[in-house]
Structure 1
Amino acid sequence: MQSITSNEKATKINLFDFSSIQMRTFHLSWIAFFLCFFGWFSHAPLMKSTIAPDLDLTKAQTTLAFIASVGVTIFARLGIGNLCDKIGPRKSYVYLLIFGAFAVAGSSFATTWETYLLSRLAIGVIGASFVITQYHTSVMFAPNVIGIANATTAGWGNLGGGVTNATMPLIASGVAAFGLAEATESWRIAMYIPAAIMLLVAYLYWKYTTDCPKGNYTDLPEERPQSKKGEKSLFLTAASDKRVWILFLMYAGCFGMELFVTGKASTYYQEKFSLSQEAAGFVVLFFGAMNLFARSTGGWIADKFAKNSGLNGRVKILVYVVIAEGLALLIFSQMNVLGFAIASMVFFSLFVQMAEGATYSVVPFINRKALGAVSGIVGAGGNVGAVLYAQYLLRSGSSLQDAFFAFGFVVAAVGFLGLLIKFSEADEAAAIEEQKKLEAFEASLKEQELINKNRIDDNMEGPAVAL
């Protein structure tokens, strides 16, 4: 049974509920994000042994391709949040999935460095899918579960990065084994697999979701967020809040690092431990697999802390896990034995995902009216971080191991910035009042369920019969 508040937001997450619009949106949003993430990083595990030899790319060019694909997402995320506010998350996701399908499939036609770079720029746009996922779940779920709802959809979507590292080499190998293409050109046909599935999900998203619990913005214009006459635009309102930019930097520390590791970990294991393309991709799957529960855990803990410690409790959790992430990255960077490297990578991944979940448990409360703009700006921070990490690697000439060591200190330092995020007494009071209303609503539901159960029991007993 799905509990719904008076504004039709869900107060519970029932994973086996496929009938309510809230849970249909929950499932389709993470599936769509999973596929976008899969397509976005589909080139990474094939780069060193397949794509680079086929196109005769230098090491610097492969890094530039990564920077291009991640960097363009900065602008895409800033724009897509605003687009969600204007036309709704449903249309925004469908349009993005269709564009992404053509971009991923189209990359197979690249024959020169220039055309390949353009194709990676186009593919990078689909990284904006994260913002739509967070926006859509935020409008569908109540504050008591918004942290875990956002974290779970994003976490399961991020899993696409780990899965693509493990499966794309297998798909490419299968293409070559069946004689459909030469080994070095097998990547071209492999790109059609994620593209085709993205088109299918675009159709499902259009048919089975709505912009908000009550329907679509085109039918319910009063539900669409908009600034009043004489007020700053929603984007400018969000951009003028320093808390948004602190979260921007903190997300650069967690999601930015995840993007960098997802894009470079396969190469790292191939170079440092002499693993094959397939073996390295399988190892990196463990990094992405933590998304199954770790990001949800971050959101869940933040929701629990908020119940007793308010909005500032959410922020404290975020600070703790980002600092822990930096320390875990330092440990990973110093591992020279394969088994220890994998174990420490998984430990590091745990805190990366928890930090991401905790970040987006705070985002919906910064400015509810400008939710799309706030989500877009903070989400773009992750890509800015990834670009800066890649630029450092490119310009410093450092090894990946040395870069990871340096980044550990950077991430830990960024974690302390969260201490500057404060909520006003009015914000805290509003959150407390909303929490009380939710608790009263849940209590009334339980009371009604108990009454109904007693009635059923009375009816089953029936009248007494004399023997």
Structure 2
Amino acid sequence: MKSTVSEKATKLELLNFKSIPMRTFWITSISFFICFFAWFGIVPFMPDVVKDLGLTPAQKWNSIILAVSGTVFARLLIGKLCDKYGPRLCYTYLLILGAIPVILLGFVQTPLQFLICRLFIGFIGASFVITQFHTSIMFAPKIVGTANATSAGWGNLGGGANRLGMPLIAAAVISFGVAEDIAWRYSMVIAGFLCLAMGLIYYFFTQDTPKGNFADLKISGEMPMLKKDEVSFISTLKDYRVWILFLVYAACFGMELTVYGTMDDYLQNRFGLDRSTAGNLVLSFALMNIFARTLGGYFGDLFGKLKGLRGRVIFLALILAAEGAMLSLFSITTSLAVGMIFLIAFSLTVQMAEGATFSVVPFINKKAIGSISGIVGAGGNVGAFLAALFLKSKSAVAESAAINSNSEFGEQVIKAAQTSAAASAVSSGYFLIGGFVVVSALMALAIKFAAAEEEVEVRAIQFSAGDK
């Protein structure tokens, strides 16, 4: 698409499709949704995959770990590439190349092939970084937190919508005469072609900035050249604020992934819910991304208007501390009704904290927004990985002890003891994780901005306030 010139948007006008920033907002949000949809698309079909390929429990867990691990490295890399080549080309290539392992997953015949595909599919999780980068440079300071949070929240819905959407795709495939036990293969192929189609849409219907594409702006001298970008990247790595935000995002997005990844079993073991009810509850909390992240970005922007950049940090610390408190309180609750109140509060605050984090990120170093987004985004996956290992190790030790101490009794007694031990171990793990989140909130307060940085943003907000 031919580059056109516009200005940064000062409002989130969802129906203004003529606006370049708003058109970009919709396309990048939908692309992010489809990437998450494809990334976790195999999850609803895992029982079929285990039966079809003969996966062992260890191979099943390894596939999950590989998918998350691939995302960490991809997020670190894609941020720097965005700074260098622009979000339009990065997203185009990520979607098109990412479609390949998604499609190939429908043709795997061995566990090894399945694991390799899962590793490379994890790379499309880097789509989050490009989405945040692209919205950051399309929206003015007074609205950028809200825009970032909304695009991320709506994109994250893809990770929950696949639990409903992929079975529907499989049902449609089966209606055409495909055998039920291999419908998962056709469903993954379809998901891959959706990624491919969005890659083409991204290339032809977006541009890097309101003023045009990176390549054109560098030729005209309106953007720094490669050498200056490298210096900016080095300074990014040395900026302590980036690593605090890395920790903060591990404490919110990382904990959300871990808690919701273990919540199905916990609700069953702790409160005696059946698997279907527990699964539906977890899905409903994931769907809160429709509005909860947006609230975090909105209040981040509001505190920014009232108290400057320091105000954004203060709100981030407050909402992060509330998240940790809600998780710890939930962990010690034995009543299902009371527990649901704290779990809903945790879901709300953790997603608001994610939105608040990326209301701060665009103001750390404007010459390296992509690199910073990549590092901070990777923090979420690192946090999820470490927290999952922590809970898994506590649960494994507790369950083994329960089995050994009840080995003289019948199978039913052993199973009950194992279930109780697992619930207690995860409960204590949640409590400690909540404490870690509160400590991270206190560390967030260490983020400082120079007086000159504060003054620049005050002027930018005052200037954009005059736009209608």
- Tell me the amino acid that sits aligned with residue 454 of structure 2: E
Deviations 1:148-197 (CA, angstroms, capped at 9, x unpaired): 011111111111112112333444455557652244x4322221232222
* Match of residue 411, structure 1, among 403, 418, 437: 437
Structure 2 residue 72 is matched with structure 1 residue 46: no
Cα distance in structure 1, aligned partners of 2:235 and 2:323: 31
Cα distance in structure 1, aligned partners of 2:208 and 2:15: 21
Alignment of 1:59-70 (within 5 A): 59-70=57-68
Q: CA deviation at 1:266?
A: 4.8
Is residue 334–residue 405 contact of structure 1 (8 Å, CA) maintained in 2? yes
SS of the residue aligned with 1:79?
helix
Is residue 248–residue 381 contact of structure 1 (8 Å, CA) maintained in 2? yes
Deviations 1:345-400 (CA, angstroms, capped at 9, x unpaired): 33221111100110000001000111111111111111111111222234444447
**Equivalent residue, structure 2, for 1:214:** 211
Cα distance in structure 2, aligned partners of 1:45 and 1:412: 34
**Equivalent residue, structure 2, for 1:147:** 145
Alignment of 1:186-205 (within 5 A): 186-205=183-202
**Equivalent residue, structure 2, for 1:55:** 53
* Match of residue 447, structure 2, among 415, 421, 426: 421
* Match of residue 376, structure 1, among 359, 370, 374: 374
* Match of residue 90, structure 1, among 84, 88, 91: 88
Cα distance in structure 2, aligned partners of 1:370 and 1:240: 12
Cα distance in structure 2, aligned partners of 1:226 and 1:275: 58
Is residue 331–residue 344 contact of structure 1 (8 Å, CA) maintained in 2? yes
SS of the residue aligned with 1:220?
helix
Alignment of 1:67-466 (within 5 A): 67-172=65-170, 175=173, 180-183=178-181, 185-221=182-218, 222-226=221-225, 233-266=231-264, 273=272, 275-276=274-275, 281-334=279-332, 344-398=342-396, 399=422, 401-402=426-427, 403-439=429-465, 441-442=466-467, 445=468
Q: CA deviation at 1:337?
A: 6.4
Structure 2 residue 9 is matched with structure 1 residue 37: no
**Equivalent residue, structure 2, for 1:458:** none
Deviations 1:173-230 (CA, angstroms, capped at 9, x unpaired): 55557652244x432222123222222222221111101111111222134454656x
Pair 1:35–1:341, CA change in 2 (3 A): farther
The farther-off stretch of 423-432 and 393-402 is 393-402
Cα distance in structure 1, aligned partners of 2:461 and 2:393: 50
Pair 1:271–1:191, CA change in 2 (3 A): farther
Cα distance in structure 2, aligned partners of 1:166 and 1:16: 27
Is residue 105–residue 189 contact of structure 2 (8 Å, CA) maintained in 1? no
In structure 2, list runs of 5 or more residues that go unmatched. 397-421
SS of the residue aligned with 1:189?
helix
- Tell me the amino acid that sits aligned with residue 202 of structure 1: G
Pair 1:342–1:147, CA change in 2 (3 A): same
The farther-off stretch of 366-375 and 254-263 is 254-263
Q: CA deviation at 1:95?
A: 0.8
Deviations 1:82-138 (CA, angstroms, capped at 9, x unpaired): 111111100111111112222222122233332221111011000000110011011
Pair 1:265–1:177, CA change in 2 (3 A): farther
Pair 1:270–1:42, CA change in 2 (3 A): farther
Is residue 146–residue 298 contact of structure 2 (8 Å, CA) maintained in 1? yes
Deviations 1:12-36 (CA, angstroms, capped at 9, x unpaired): 1100011111100011111100111
SS of the residue aligned with 1:12?
coil
Matched pairs, number: 433
**Equivalent residue, structure 1, for 2:399:** none
Pair 1:379–1:223, CA change in 2 (3 A): farther
Pair 1:346–1:161, CA change in 2 (3 A): farther
SS of the residue aligned with 1:370?
helix
Structure 2 residue 14 is matched with structure 1 residue 15: yes
Cα distance in structure 2, aligned partners of 1:155 and 1:125: 19
Is residue 84–residue 226 contact of structure 2 (8 Å, CA) maintained in 1? no
What's the TM-score once normalised by structure 2's chain length? 0.85
Q: CA deviation at 1:434?
A: 1.9
Deviations 1:218-270 (CA, angstroms, capped at 9, x unpaired): 222134454656x8533221110000000000000111122334544455557
Cα distance in structure 1, aligned partners of 2:205 and 2:297: 26
Q: CA deviation at 1:336?
A: 5.8
Cα distance in structure 1, aligned partners of 2:230 and 2:215: 23
Structure 2 residue 13 is matched with structure 1 residue 24: no
Pair 1:322–1:345, CA change in 2 (3 A): same
Is residue 148–residue 297 contact of structure 1 (8 Å, CA) maintained in 2? yes
Cα distance in structure 2, aligned partners of 1:338 and 1:186: 37
